[in-house]
Amino acid sequence: MEPVKIGVLISGGGTNLQAIIDNINNGNINGKIELIISNKEDAYGLVRGQKENIETLYLDRKQYNSEEEYNLELIKSFKARKVELIILAGYLRVLSKDFIEEFSGRIINIHPSLIPSFCGKGYYGERVHKAVLDYGVKITGATVHFVDEGTDTGPIILQEPVRVEDSDTLDTLKEKVLNVEHKILVQAVKLYCENRLAIRGRKVIIK
């Protein structure tokens, strides 16, 4: 089977991106990253890509008149490289309706909580872990899901829990959840590249 052509959107350090790269390199994922795009020029994820001789691109939102125009450039860039799967690996911008329609059922996102808890508008990055600690829940975790037009509302592919200890700080909790993110994002991408995921309404069936 031909490797699935993958496009990755990032905004930061790219540790989830690195997990994908490592698992492609060791043969666990039957995919090939064709392009990494960042909306931030100093995102270390771009360096990670360059080290692996993967094409990288920084697109500055300020150079475009609207979100729609910016997203059309994203679409154009990925389509030019025949990308089949889009992975959001810590991408902190909202995708446009056009983008989601263009790649419907082919966009995967990782979120650092057990959706539908601590998700939606305003819940991203460390804000999620702060909210978890402030609320006092005993279990949090990570979720990989397909992206639809809502915020963190698409069909769930995989989830894994993380226990919240009384001694946990923002940093310790973030680290524990990140380890789980790396694991289940890799699993989800592997399943997608093996054509083992089917969306049935709100549910994702693993074949």
Q: Which two tokens stand for residue 13?
A: 């350090």
111 belongs to the catalytic site: yes
pLDDT along the chain (207 residues), means of 10: 96 94 98 97 96 97 94 97 96 92 97 97 93 98 96 96 98 97 98 98 96
Q: Look at residue 94 in the predicted model and tell me its pLDDT.
A: 85
Do residues 92 and 39 lie in contact, with contact meaning Cβ atoms separated by under 8 Å? yes
Q: What is the C-alpha to C-alpha distance for residues 129 and 7, in angstroms, rounded to an integer? A: 27
The DSSP 8-state label assigned to residue 168 in this structure reads -
3-state secondary structure of 23: helix
Chain centroid to CA 132:
20
Active-site entry in 111, 129, 145, 182? 111
For the domain bounded by 4-110+143-154+181-200, which CATH number is listed?
Answer: 3.40.50.170
Q: Look at residue 93 in the predicted model and tell me its pLDDT.
A: 87
In this structure, the dihedral spanned by the alpha carbons of residues 37, 51, 184 and 145, taken in order and rounded to 10 degrees, is: 10
Angle between helices 170-193 and 15-25 (to 10 degrees): 40
Q: What is the C-alpha to C-alpha distance for residues 89 and 92, in angstroms, rounded to an integer? A: 9
Which pTM does this prediction carry?
0.95
Q: What is the C-alpha to C-alpha distance for residues 198 and 77, in angstroms, rounded to an integer? A: 26
Q: What is the C-alpha to C-alpha distance for residues 195 and 183, in angstroms, rounded to an integer? A: 19
Sketch the domain layout of the chain as residue ranges. 4-110+143-154+181-200
Q: What is the C-alpha to C-alpha distance for residues 43 and 91, in angstroms, rounded to an integer? A: 11
Do residues 1 and 164 lie in contact, with contact meaning Cβ atoms separated by under 8 Å? no
